[in-house]
């Protein structure tokens, strides 16, 4: 036990900006990524309608982020540059971004995770250089990611579309995770799987 007095976190301390839920489901000719809109600082909700999911490149890739907002936008910009360099090759663009993320001193300090998808591929990118393809075409990240993931897996065998699954699972996560709200942004693409 420490004898030092408790020091409240600074509003500029990026590690204190946390909490989100991003979920992806690929089913029935559709891939969907959804994210909640809550931005929290400690126990305070700073914003309820942030847009953490968006289209990338020429609109043929969708992505969502969890983590520090400025860091995520930096990564989105870097990924868009890689997509321009490797058009139509999401896997290659993500692997090249992951290499940079692991080796570049500036990028290594970024605190964010991303889920990205195109018509045929869904990937999770992490700051440790991981580029992972989700099991069963479902993945959740962020503070409520595991809640949304469990709900989506439970709903996956039901006669629901990918978007219906994502919306129900995100609602469940919002009911459980205090850092996730029900203000959900959804992006989808036609899927070749």
**Chain segment 47-69, per-residue pLDDT in tens:** 999 999 999 989 999 999 988 77
Residues whose CB falls within 8 Å of the CB of residue 14, separated by 6 or more in sequence, listed in order: 68, 70, 71, 111
Query: What's residue 107's pLDDT?
Result: 62
Residue 2 resides in a domain: no
20 a catalytic residue? yes
Residue 8 resides in a domain: no
Number of domains in the chain: 1
Residue 93 resides in a domain: yes
Residue 12 resides in a domain: no
Query: What's residue 8's pLDDT?
Result: 37
Cα end-to-end span (Å), the chain:
54
- In this structure, how many other beta carbons lie within 10 angstroms of the beta carbon of residue 75? 24
Residues whose CB falls within 8 Å of the CB of residue 168, separated by 6 or more in sequence, listed in order: 151, 155, 160
State the Cα–Cα distance between residues 1 and 5, nearest whole angstrom.
11
Residue 119 resides in a domain: yes
Residue 188 resides in a domain: no
Query: What's residue 108's pLDDT?
Result: 60
Residue 68 resides in a domain: yes
CATH number at residue 50: 3.60.20.10
Catalytically annotated residue among 20, 21, 24, 121: 20
Q: Which long-range contacts (CB under 8 A, 24 or more apart) does 103-107 make?
A: 107/74, 107/75, 107/78
**Residue 73 is encoded by which pair of tokens?**
């936008």
**Chain segment 89-115, per-residue pLDDT in tens:** 999 999 998 888 777 666 666 677 899
Query: What's residue 9's pLDDT?
Result: 39
Which residues of the chain are under the pLDDT cut of 70? 1-18, 104-110
Percent of the chain scored above 70 by pLDDT? 87
Residue 185 resides in a domain: no
- In degrees, rounded to 5, the angle at the alpha carbon of residue 65 between the alpha carbons of residues 151 and 90 is 100
Q: pTM for the full model?
A: 0.87
Full residue range of the structural domain in which residue 121 is found = 21-180
């Amino acid at each position: 036990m420490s004898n030092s007095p408790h020091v409240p976190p600074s509003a500029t301390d990026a590690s204190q900006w946390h909490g989100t839920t991003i979920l992806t489901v690929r089913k029935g000719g559709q891939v969907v990524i959804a994210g909640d809109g809550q931005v929290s600082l400690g126990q305070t909700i700073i914003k309820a309608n942030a847009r953490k999911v968006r289209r990338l490149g020429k609109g043929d890739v969708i992505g969502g982020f969890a983590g520090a907002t400025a860091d995520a936008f930096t990564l989105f910009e870097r990924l868009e540059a890689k997509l321009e360099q490797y058009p139509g090759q999401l896997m290659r663009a993500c692997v090249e971004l992951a290499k940079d993320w692991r080796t570049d001193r500036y990028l290594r300090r970024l605190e964010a995770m991303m889920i990205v998808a195109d018509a045929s591929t869904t990937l999770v990118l992490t700051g440790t250089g991981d580029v992972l393809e989700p099991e069963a075409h479902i993945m959740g990240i962020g503070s409520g990611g595991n809640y949304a993931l469990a709900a989506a897996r439970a709903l996956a065998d039901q006669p629901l579309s990918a978007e219906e699954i994502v919306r129900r699972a995100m609602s469940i996560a919002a009911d459980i995770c205090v850092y996730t709200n029900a203000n959900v942004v959804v992006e989808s693409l036609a899927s070749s799987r």
